[in-house]
Amino acid sequence: MTITKVYTEPPICEKEILRYAGCKNSAQESLQFSVGDENLENLYRECCKEILPRLSYKVCYIELPLDISENTCDFGCIKVQSKDLVKNLQGCNRAIVFAATIGVEMDRLIAKYSRISPAKALLFQAIGTERIEALCDAFCEDVGCLHPRFSPGYGDAPLEIQRDILRILDASKRIGLSLNDSLLMAPSKSVTAFVGIGSRIERNEKIKCAACDKTDCAYRGV
């Protein structure tokens, strides 16, 4: 049975927003950065004031049986061929499949400010990424002892699996999440993922990044 949950606003991590905005050494620095001739801190406060009241935090999910054989994860209603997903879910006999979104308002503001203030558009992108990651973390913490989440497109997991995930969750009806022909989600600040049910494993950015083969990613945790 698919379950839908609505969350209150998760705590904001300004250091993560700076990292997603491309600010170097953001873990050690404050918000006293500049983007062009504009002060980043003032822009950041303005962006938060404009967008945070408009965001919604929604997740729909289902718990499924899991059978692993060689390079395939069989969830009953879908099968995924992926060595990396098998590695992530090793030792689990059940898994949660979920979709999460913070809504369409972020996309509207990014599109608006891309034309009139690229600096603000960059910050909205960073805030949106931090917000959807925070929602996913809050959900995983809420549902209990889980392995690190693993999304389509990670490693060798095919992005096309998103079609099956949205279908079995009825995500369009439940949380307003859809997929276009290019496999891009709308709203864009959304996530689909598998999470193995098993012993608790610490979830942090270094673990998530260590599980990914893309070592040249600009957002990789250090």
Q: What is the CATH number of the domain that holds 103?
A: 3.40.109.40
29: pLDDT confidence band, cut at 50, 70 and 90? very low
Answer yes or no: is 177 within a domain. yes
Quick check: 218 pLDDT over 60? no
Distance of CA 203 to the CA centre of its chain: 13
The pLDDT score that the predictor gives to residue 146 is 81
Answer yes or no: is 49 within a domain. yes
Residues 102, 165: Cα–Cα separation, whole Å: 18
The pLDDT score that the predictor gives to residue 214 is 53
Answer yes or no: is 220 within a domain. no
The domain total for the chain is 1
The pLDDT score that the predictor gives to residue 163 is 96
Q: pLDDT tens digit string along 144-202?
A: 878 899 999 999 999 999 999 999 999 999 999 999 999 999 999 999 999 999 765 54
Q: At what angle do helices 118-143 and 105-116 cross, to 10 degrees?
A: 160
Answer yes or no: is 215 within a domain. no
Answer yes or no: is 221 within a domain. no
Answer yes or no: is 43 within a domain. yes
Cα angle for residues 215, 217, 222 (degrees, 5° grid)? 75
Find the domain containing 10 and state its range: 3-210
Beta strands (DSSP E) in 87-199 are 94-101, 178-179, 185-186, 190-196
Quick check: 136 pLDDT over 70? yes
pTM of the entire structure?
A: 0.86
Answer yes or no: is 161 within a domain. yes
Mean pLDDT value across the chain: 87
